[in-house]
Amino acid sequence: MTDQEQNKQKVAYQGVEGAYSHLACKTVFPSHQALACEDFQSAMLLVEEEKANYAMIPLENSTAGRVEEIYRLLPKTHLQIVGEHFEPVNHCLLALPGVELKQIKTVASHPQALAQCFHHLESLNITPIVAIDTALSAKDLAAKKASLHTHTSHGAIASTLAAELYGLNVVADNFQDVSGNTTRFIVLAKNASEHAYNPKQAYITSLLFSVRNIPAALYKALGGFATNGVNMIKLESYMDGGTMEASHFHIDLAGYPEQQGMVNALEELNFFAKDVRILGSYPAHKYRQTHSFV
């Protein structure tokens, strides 16, 4: 590794090169070095150990829903959410160079990608084969170039980045059955940068908390946001710690902690809830404005 590479800022992600998380890294941090990790925890650990500046972590997908593992990991990390990114998921049908769409009989990819392309695969009479990762299926296909004559009927579903990295051809773009499939990523850092509140900027504030053991605790804990005019965009509940004794909650709010309405609402939340923790306050992504949910 050169001195320039060592000094370059880094962003960690889960997956192999060409994964959609890798694509998100290149979109948000085009000048950073992207570090592939085997799992989400490893990506977050690189940031905690200051071996990476950021971690690009998928939190939810418009088709597949939330990423359960992340909700179990967030309470255990001390990292801060410093940004969010919405990445459109464009599934591409990839093949070895020289292979045409009509030749493909089988295709490998992650189960979610296969499910999202089910009707297109069915209409083309292509048999899906489950793989553990979209980009890995592309990488495995590329490894078969040496025996091209025996693999002309096999393809992969992955990103355009995977096609570029592994020298594959895109034989069908936008191959998903329904357009608009989008993944929301959060950007984690060890410390949040100190930026003055900008009243012209829309912000998202993310919180974790659990409720006290009193009647209507959740209703009372969240009531302060309604009475103080704070828009609650997202509410997720989940069990943590291997027991079924208490629910924990993750909420996303439209606003910044210094705004008076948010100050009042957080005071009420602290009265009825416990273990309240602000995960971060960060600028709302432009996707929210075009889709009118902030």
Active site members = 183, 185
Bridge partners, 93 (sequence order): 157, 172
Distance between CA atoms of residues 52 and 34, nearest Å: 9
Identify residue 162 by its one-letter amino acid code: A
Give the pair of three-digit tokens for residue 239.
Answer: 């069990």
**How crowded is residue 32: how many other Cβ atoms within 10 Å of its Cβ?**
18
Distance between CA atoms of residues 185 and 58, nearest Å: 4
Bridge partners, 60 (sequence order): 66, 184
φ, ψ at 86 (rounded to 5°): -105, 115
What residue has token string 């370059």? Answer: 8
CA 208 to each of CA 74, 113, 280: distance values in angstroms, whole numbers, following the listed order: 9, 31, 10
Give the pair of three-digit tokens for residue 139.
Answer: 């990488």
Cβ-count burial 193-212 (b if 16+ within 10 Å, e if not): eeeeeeeeeebbbbbbbbbe
Ordered DSSP codes for 119-144: HHHHHTTPEEEE-S-HHHHHHHHHTT
